[in-house]
Structure 1
């Protein structure tokens, strides 16, 4: 069963132009494979604007949980510590801060795993013959067959017209 096409490019500029053209044609299920960071890929493929909001909400959750646990513990098990007030909020700041940071880091880590579809035991593209060169000196675009605009002959012809060497990737 056809999983998609892996298109290889020798030059970074041709790779970026092809990526822009594919996005302009309406392709949405694309993956950019590069041996080094390429400026402009995120602008073409688009970033995930939800990450800062998820981090903010996780921070609010962590701070609220930290304060709740300390207030609950203090009210449930009150004890007089040198005549200090029962709910002395300055004492709650360190634990609240640490729990906020912990909640954000663990939550964002799990969220990014989910968004990126990880852990993935083996992507079928890894079995492609030219995949090893993508890790060294070539640039690649993987077009998934699940893309609504994907047509086996049309997509392959478009990629070849953009100057790519195209390889079929089949699911094992």
Structure 2
């Protein structure tokens, strides 16, 4: 069996910054240098960071819409089917009265839209993920209090361990650390 290359064991490189402006500038420079597989972590939302990262995925709203359509179709179809399959004729009530179907149709539209949105979001974010390699970085817990992190992932076409480390160090961060792949606990 052959030895894995040092880069195959690397998940990525993480640079720690002390101010949001420096993180935004780092992301801008990384994008300009051609890096596409990157992410940024901040203790609070930074609007400019969202714009620079170019986060424009809009799959969840479409999943929500599809869930609503599926829910409405199931509810309405089930009610029409049961009215024709199990007819109960009472006091000249019409067999097909669409107005009486709207309450259940609305309820299932909302239910399915919410379920599609929640489960779609979980799947798209690959959650629940009980362990992430970034959790092994000693200072990464500070991303929820007062530090800012830029991660360049090793699956990027431009990633080369030494050159990428030199690039990140050129951004003048507090520190740059290598993030190793870790095995998922079983």
TMscore range, shorter length:
over 0.9
Give ranges in structure 2 of 5+ residues lacking alignment: 1-8
1:125 equivalent to 2:138? Answer no
Counterpart residue number, 2:176: 166
| Secondary structure of 2:149's aligned partner | strand
Deviation of 1:47 after TM superposition, in Å, equals 2.2
Of 9, 23, 28, 2:31 maps to 23
Deviation of 1:55 after TM superposition, in Å, equals 1.9
Pairs aligned (count): 172
Of 119, 129, 134, 1:110 maps to 119
Deviation of 1:26 after TM superposition, in Å, equals 2.2
Deviation of 1:41 after TM superposition, in Å, equals 2.4
The higher relative CO (CA closer than 8 Å, separation ≥ 6) is in: 1
Superposition TM-score, scaled by structure 1 size: 0.93
Deviation of 1:98 after TM superposition, in Å, equals 0.8
CA displacement 1:55-104 (0-9 Å, x = unmatched): 22222111111111111111111112442211100111111111111111
Q: Which deviates further from its counterpart, 11-20 or 50-59?
A: 50-59
- Summarize the Cα distance change of 1:13–1:81 in structure 2 as closer, same or farther, 3 Å threshold: farther
Give ranges in structure 1 of 5+ residues lacking alignment: none
Q: Any residues of structure 2 matched to 1:1-172 within 5 Å, and which? A: 1-45=9-53, 46-164=55-173, 165-172=175-182
Deviation of 1:50 after TM superposition, in Å, equals 2.5
Superposition TM-score, scaled by structure 2 size: 0.87
| Secondary structure of 1:14's aligned partner | helix
Give runs of ≥4 in structure 1 deviating > 4 Å.
Answer: none
| Secondary structure of 2:155's aligned partner | coil
For 1:73 and 1:85, the matched residues in 2 are separated by 14
For 2:71 and 2:19, the matched residues in 1 are separated by 46
